[in-house]
Structure 1
């Protein structure tokens, strides 16, 4: 290991590497063109969130004069410089890829045109669209001595307009105005086809407004028009202790977020120096100004690809989730779960199984209570409607709603109010802790006794993301898991002294310690010369203590395989430190989101499902859950899912000691884990070769 190299990869630099892996999917010529366009959109929205949260936090530290190094060896100022350099390079690559994808789409008959490329009839049609639809929505905002600079919304596109008057002396400063490009209208305007042409042609809304800008400033001449976009600090800063009503406090914070301090200014290439100087001074932006060679904010491509009809050859092959066979074969869901546990793997298996579990519980007269955690819920959630019906039917319904799920706060507030009106007990978790555990508990009266049925998941109760994310769900009536589930809800909703968990690991109280003791057990096996192995799959690994624990295990001879999609601060393969650790990341059609942990345990293998990544926030500042899978058959299925990931040699990248990733290439037959998983027998049939 280079003596100047830190033992750890910096979290934010690791995130940049992750977003670059997303960009590589947009660059991959083997991916269909419209899917490549979607990946470009994801790169943009990822970068927006990174700027408005992570970079905003670093800027706050710099402003506060904070100069202390983090555990990876970076001061805020030093890290900020590295991040700006890396993001600038990524944006350059992103727009180069955008132009390449556009050229490919044009060959397929999907084209973005500049206005001067249109025929006379097309020009007439878009001009009519402007005057009838766009013009009435526009608001020109002049900036002068009597009209101060307007308060600009975060992540909206504006046009900076420089104006002159007839016979105006050359030394006189131009007039300055701003026009917002209305986000209520589609960003891409469809252009009627040319005669005998089957092409789908579009122009960008901002270019159409620019063309007609003089209609907004009658009597003035246009000197220059350039687009720009501001990103503001979007981190919530809540004083929960002092919040009388958390709902109201969060509603206020969301309003404040729109006016957070600016953290980034993007502007169109070749912006007039006077306009750029005006924006720089008014928005107090110095170093974080990015010139964009192309349309600002490529996240519009997500909606664009979704709106286009047809073109199936330019998309991934359609994949319909199948309804889990176990539930298909058994009418009585509760009878099935009394007999055996059931595992579902989304998106290959349908989320309808979860909806049906809650809906059947809501309608079953013998169900007395339903308790559930909701973190991010989809738009028209069947779950929310079922919970409301259960409460209206007189059942005890308790819902722990996480109001602080970043960027989903407004939606969660709406559901919370709806559930309260229906008679549900709505609880907003514990002060200072986000409730991130994903669990449902159903209490049912059966033959003079009560039986508990539990669903534990690695993903949110969200039917939309369940079609796009890989996640695992476990249905069980195991009495030990049921007792722990009851205790967990009691801790979150009431006063409860620390509980002696029989099955669960629960953050922030004991999950980290439980993981440490399981890692320690593997170390002991290795030191005794027995086989010792850990496989862990998660989104992110950044907790320093956890990394150190894994380094210790590696030095003891434990074989460790990590499947970490996003941030990874651990350096694998470093002699004397981590030579027994391998780290891979899979970025593909679906977002790898499941958290699974495997311990060899001297041959008595253990597998756990978890809601928690191994980040400091998950282990210390959130209510998280790790649940064992007791059923041997289901453990083997989970080990098979891990095997599929570990054997991927098409979409898998391996983390090198220097902190960069390279594609996994070997002599084995090509294997793309997400495509293999579409054939359900590939992971439901036990053929795991590890251990």
Structure 2
């Protein structure tokens, strides 16, 4: 193979690998799941403050919601289009299999992180997220009164039988699948939507307190109960005279990928208007259920949502843990990261703001470094105007040896990318000091500035 060297002369290069070989590349969806696994690892890391760990667990959940709405929906579309054209998309089917396999590894860790680690740790710190059955009779009476006055008027149970079509279930909504024993019609199925205007965690009033607190910023400690459990415990008011056989939480995710056609969609506003309604009610791409849900109930959901069983995931933890983010509002500074000094670090918005990219080219000894915020994805390379700018030759040694060098020495947050696409956390070697590159950059901000001669 003949190519140009950096000096501009023609040189002969042999043994060049075939860069079209898939073995040189990681699957994009699998790689993203590995990224989200690292978010989950932060929730498990005892070095992080407790409420920050709760936030990481919440972020893991909200990330996964978006992953299904956009990425899994894209894989599903390829499979569906292949079936319509009588052409099986084996790559898409394999992607879906790998996604499920990886999630079946990650989701039990998510469940145990909440059930066995974070929830007990919160209790020890006076923040008690309780199950309804743990409440006293007095607590239940107060909450029933709150339910009757505030929640009950907003509930509309929808039945499903030969005379009633299966109700539409909106994207990311939390619901109860209720089985009732009707004296006249026998066993029936109904769906109750959990009202999204209420906090997912309801504050249990203390002592003689009558009012239910809605602002968590006022709290340092408190007891909370899950909204869906409160509703399930008071279903007798919704179904008077009927025996409740069971109430099972479930949640669905729908396709929310707008999928604009770069050639056909000349008017972006018109394209958005055409798609927003369709995608809010787009096809379902995931069903999440409580682990107690009987198979006959999940079968009803799968059939009417037009989902296959590989897209159903059972959970031993409460569904939709992204709602845990509200707990971070509790006024407990000792359970959070220390706030940044905005005067010293005016451009550091928060600890999740890590979008800068450094592109370093050895370039045969004529080094070049470019900075930018965009990753090298088609949406950025083909569909947007993004900016990369070169670093001055005077700053290259600083950028290479200090900024890049510190990050490459990180043994707290850094991961090693393995050939199979997984990542492995890097730990300090014996007698090696811990180095968190992000903390180092904050504490030493500005220390690498150099003065250039003009």
TM-score (norm 1): 0.56
CA contact 1:158–1:178 (8 Å) conserved in 2? yes
Counterparts of 2:119 and 2:421, CA distance in 1: 32
Look up the SS of the partner of 1:632 in the other structure: coil
Counterparts of 1:180 and 1:683, CA distance in 2: 55
Go from structure 1 to structure 2 and tell me whether the alpha carbon gap of 1:57 and 1:242 turns closer, same or farther (over 3 Å shift). closer
Counterparts of 2:328 and 2:422, CA distance in 1: 31
How far the C-alpha of 1:10 sits from its partner, in A, is: 1.7
**How big is each residue's C-alpha offset from its partner over 1:231-278, in whole Å with a ceiling of 9 and x where there is no partner?**
111111334555574213213312211111111101111113332222
Go from structure 1 to structure 2 and tell me whether the alpha carbon gap of 1:123 and 1:647 turns closer, same or farther (over 3 Å shift). same
Look up the SS of the partner of 2:371 in the other structure: strand
Equivalences for 1:318-337 in 2 at 5 Å? 318-322=339-343
Equivalences for 1:278-357 in 2 at 5 Å? 278-287=300-309, 288-306=311-329, 308-309=330-331, 311-322=332-343, 349-351=345-347
| Equivalent residue in structure 1 for 2:103, among 84, 87, 91 | 87
Go from structure 1 to structure 2 and tell me whether the alpha carbon gap of 1:314 and 1:299 turns closer, same or farther (over 3 Å shift). same
The reply to whether residue 30 of structure 1 matches residue 41 of structure 2 is no
| Equivalent residue in structure 2 for 1:176, among 173, 185, 189 | 189
The reply to whether residue 193 of structure 1 matches residue 206 of structure 2 is yes
Counterparts of 1:595 and 1:683, CA distance in 2: 20
**How big is each residue's C-alpha offset from its partner over 1:465-521, in whole Å with a ceiling of 9 and x where there is no partner?**
x613xxxxxxxxxxxxxxxxxxxxxxxxxxxxxxxxxxxxxxxxxxxxxxxxxxxxx
The reply to whether residue 143 of structure 1 matches residue 194 of structure 2 is no
Equivalent in the alignment of 1:231: 253
The reply to whether residue 615 of structure 1 matches residue 399 of structure 2 is no
CA contact 1:229–1:267 (8 Å) conserved in 2? yes
Go from structure 1 to structure 2 and tell me whether the alpha carbon gap of 1:124 and 1:9 turns closer, same or farther (over 3 Å shift). same
CA contact 2:254–2:285 (8 Å) conserved in 1? yes
Equivalences for 1:186-225 in 2 at 5 Å? 186-193=199-206, 199-225=221-247
Counterparts of 1:617 and 1:635, CA distance in 2: 32
How far the C-alpha of 1:604 sits from its partner, in A, is: 5.8
CA contact 1:606–1:628 (8 Å) conserved in 2? yes
Look up the SS of the partner of 1:623 in the other structure: coil
Equivalences for 1:99-178 in 2 at 5 Å? 99=115, 100-166=117-183, 174-178=187-191
Go from structure 1 to structure 2 and tell me whether the alpha carbon gap of 1:161 and 1:20 turns closer, same or farther (over 3 Å shift). same
How far the C-alpha of 1:89 sits from its partner, in A, is: 1.8
Equivalent in the alignment of 2:215: none
Counterparts of 1:665 and 1:680, CA distance in 2: 22
CA contact 1:163–1:223 (8 Å) conserved in 2? yes
Equivalences for 1:469-618 in 2 at 5 Å? 589-600=351-362, 605-618=367-380
Counterparts of 1:57 and 1:633, CA distance in 2: 42
Go from structure 1 to structure 2 and tell me whether the alpha carbon gap of 1:647 and 1:194 turns closer, same or farther (over 3 Å shift). farther
Equivalences for 1:420-439 in 2 at 5 Å? none
Counterparts of 2:380 and 2:397, CA distance in 1: 24
Go from structure 1 to structure 2 and tell me whether the alpha carbon gap of 1:289 and 1:601 turns closer, same or farther (over 3 Å shift). closer
Counterparts of 2:446 and 2:386, CA distance in 1: 30
Counterparts of 1:646 and 1:41, CA distance in 2: 28
The reply to whether residue 15 of structure 1 matches residue 11 of structure 2 is no
The reply to whether residue 625 of structure 1 matches residue 391 of structure 2 is no
Higher relative contact order (CA 8 A, sep 6+): 2
Unmatched segments (≥5 aa) in structure 1: 70-74, 324-348, 352-465, 469-588, 687-691
CA contact 2:369–2:396 (8 Å) conserved in 1? no
Which is further off, 660-669 or 600-609? 600-609
How far the C-alpha of 1:648 sits from its partner, in A, is: 1.0
**How big is each residue's C-alpha offset from its partner over 1:346-392, in whole Å with a ceiling of 9 and x where there is no partner?**
xxx324xxxxxxxxxxxxxxxxxxxxxxxxxxxxxxxxxxxxxxxxx
CA contact 2:249–2:319 (8 Å) conserved in 1? yes
CA contact 1:149–1:282 (8 Å) conserved in 2? yes
How far the C-alpha of 1:649 sits from its partner, in A, is: 1.0
CA RMSD of superposed structures (Å): 2.7
The reply to whether residue 665 of structure 1 matches residue 427 of structure 2 is yes
How far the C-alpha of 1:637 sits from its partner, in A, is: 5.5
Go from structure 1 to structure 2 and tell me whether the alpha carbon gap of 1:616 and 1:141 turns closer, same or farther (over 3 Å shift). same
Equivalent in the alignment of 2:349: 467
How far the C-alpha of 1:151 sits from its partner, in A, is: 1.3
**How big is each residue's C-alpha offset from its partner over 1:68-116, in whole Å with a ceiling of 9 and x where there is no partner?**
56xxxxx211221121111122111100111111011111111111222
Which is further off, 37-46 or 628-637? 628-637
Look up the SS of the partner of 2:375 in the other structure: coil
Look up the SS of the partner of 2:388 in the other structure: strand
CA contact 1:188–1:204 (8 Å) conserved in 2? yes
CA contact 1:269–1:292 (8 Å) conserved in 2? yes
CA contact 1:637–1:683 (8 Å) conserved in 2? no
TM-score (norm 2): 0.84
Number of residue pairs aligned between Structure 1 and Structure 2: 413
How far the C-alpha of 1:8 sits from its partner, in A, is: 2.3
Counterparts of 2:62 and 2:167, CA distance in 1: 25
Counterparts of 1:124 and 1:105, CA distance in 2: 25
Go from structure 1 to structure 2 and tell me whether the alpha carbon gap of 1:241 and 1:295 turns closer, same or farther (over 3 Å shift). same
The reply to whether residue 59 of structure 1 matches residue 76 of structure 2 is yes
Counterparts of 1:638 and 1:181, CA distance in 2: 53
Look up the SS of the partner of 2:106 in the other structure: helix
Equivalences for 1:42-53 in 2 at 5 Å? 42-53=59-70
Counterparts of 2:264 and 2:422, CA distance in 1: 44
